[in-house]
């Protein structure tokens, strides 16, 4: 059902807005196959910038760092965040304690990223004062990423937990299951879609992050966003177009994969019901 309006107005505005989102991306992709070292005029088609990517050690190292950071921090954040969500919603906390938990959970969401980054700088400096670790580098980056990822994983998993009630757990008890058995065989399987989508979100947040990495990275832990940032400041190089296009393609793959995964969960649920 639709409202009676000038029928073309909404589609025109909508498609125009989408075009606005895609013009820059298409521009980058088309210049990535432009055979010209300087300037942006068209000099014919070439794959050579892509080949250059695979030969560039700095870029390969940055790819490695990005994946290492993303995977390690996502694994930590998923485990810790899931535990946090279960702990917050399945135990008899007093109102004050719950409010304290909530406050901390929403801190990473409501703090402007640049303030978050400043806070991390302060945290690491204070910790360095008492110990010799926490120099800028991969460890600090992982810690920084986990800090915001934990909150998002916990929020996603918790909304999932809120969707089913205690009855199932009580039924499990009536059938003489131990709490550990219930957690393993009843709660976690039901939570899996929530945990997986929380982890996917955490991973993309990590790949997407620039500011936190910028403030916590050391010279040996340059990630792709940091590398691109530095290159852009150095001046336009065609490599960056190729690198950005690869980044765009990886994003498309991630989006499609995550939708496939969540769709398959939905279908499975429909079948179960």
Partner 1 sequence: MTSEKNTDTRIWFGELTSSRALRRRGLLHVSPGLFWILIFLTVPALALIALSFATRGGYGEIEWIFTFENFTRLAGYGMFGWSPDYLIILARSLWVAFVTTTVCTALAFPLAFFIAGKPKTTRYVWLTLVIIPFWTNLVIRTYAWQLVLSPDLPIARFAAALRLIPAGSPLYPSEFAVYLGMISAFLPFVVLPLYSSVEKLDWSLVEAAHDLYSNKRRVFMQAILPQTLPGLSVGAILTFVPAMGMFLIPDFLGGAKYMLVGNLIQQQFGKSRDWPFGAAVSLALMLLTIIGLFVFRRKGEKMEVI
Q: Which residues contact 215 (CB under 8 A, 6 or more apart)?
A: 117, 118, 120, 121, 144
3-state SS of 218-250 is CCCCCCHHHHHHHHHHHCCCHHHHHHHHHHHHH
Q: Report the site for partner 1 in 137-156 (rule: CB under 8 A).
A: 143-144, 146-147, 150-151, 154
Beta-carbon contacts of 109 under 8 Å, excluding residues fewer than 6 positions away, are 151, 152, 155
Residues 58 and 230: their CA atoms lie apart, in Å, by 12
Contact between 38 and partner 1 per CB under 8 A: no
> Among 51, 90, 257, 266, which residue interacts with partner 1 (rule: CB under 8 A)?
90
Q: Are 213 and 140 in contact (CB under 8 A)?
A: no
Residue 71 Cβ vs partner 1, minimum distance, rounded to whole Å = 17
Q: In the range 175-194, which residues lie near partner 1 by CB under 8 A? A: 177-180, 182-183, 187
Task: Report the residue number, 67 or 83, with the smaller CB distance to partner 1.
Answer: 83
Contact stretch for partner 1 (CB under 8 A) within 56-64, 190-198, 203-211, 264-272: 203-211
Q: Is 80 in the site for partner 1 (CB under 8 A)?
A: yes
Q: Is 218 in the site for partner 1 (CB under 8 A)?
A: no
For residue 45, list its beta bridge partners. 34
How far is it, in rounded angstroms, from Cα 148 to Cα 144?
Answer: 7
Instruction: Establish if 129 lies at the interface with partner 1 (CB under 8 A).
Output: no
* The binder of partner 1 chosen from 87, 102, 218, 266 (CB under 8 A): 87
Least distance from partner 1 to the Cβ atom of residue 16, Å: 9
Given the complex with partner 1, which of 61 and 76 has the nearer CB atom? Answer: 76
**272 makes contact with partner 1 (CB under 8 A):** no
Identify the bridge partners of residue 34 per DSSP, sorted by sequence position. 45
By CB under 8 A, name the one of 252, 264, 266, 267 that touches partner 1.
252
Backbone angles phi, psi at 33, to 5 degrees: -115, 25
Please pick, from the candidates 62, 228, 239, 242, the single residue that binds partner 1 as defined by CB under 8 A.
228
Instruction: State how far the alpha carbon of 109 is from the alpha carbons of 78, 81, 151, in Å.
Output: 17, 14, 8
């Amino acid at each position: 059902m639709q409202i009676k309006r000038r029928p073309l107005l909404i589609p025109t505005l909508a498609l125009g807005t989408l075009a606005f989102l895609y013009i820059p991306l298409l521009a980058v992709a088309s210049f990535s196959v432009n055979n010209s070292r300087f300037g942006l005029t068209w000099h014919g088609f070439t794959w050579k910038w892509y080949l250059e990517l695979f030969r560039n050690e700095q870029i390969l190292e940055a790819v490695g760092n990005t994946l290492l950071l993303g995977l390690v921090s996502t694994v930590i954040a998923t485990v810790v965040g899931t535990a946090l969500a279960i702990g917050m919603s399945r135990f008899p906390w007093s109102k004050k304690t719950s409010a304290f938990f909530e406050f901390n959970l929403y801190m990473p969401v409501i703090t402007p990223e640049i303030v978050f980054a400043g806070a991390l700088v302060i945290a690491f400096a204070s910790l360095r004062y008492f110990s010799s670790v926490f120099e800028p580098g991969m460890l600090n980056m992982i810690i920084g990423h986990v800090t915001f990822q934990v909150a998002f994983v916990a929020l996603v998993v918790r909304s999932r937990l809120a969707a089913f009630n205690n009855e199932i757990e009580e039924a499990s008890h009536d059938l003489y299951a131990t709490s550990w058995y219930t957690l393993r065989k009843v709660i976690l399987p039901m939570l899996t879609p929530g945990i997986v989508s929380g982890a996917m979100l955490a991973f993309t947040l990590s790949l997407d992050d620039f500011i936190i990495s910028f403030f916590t990275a050391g010279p040996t832990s340059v990630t792709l966003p940091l590398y691109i940032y530095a290159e852009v400041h150095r001046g336009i190089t065609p490599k960056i177009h190729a690198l950005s296009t690869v980044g765009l393609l990886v994003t498309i793959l991630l989006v499609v994969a995550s939708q496939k995964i969540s769709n398959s969960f939905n279908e499975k649920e429909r079948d179960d019901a």
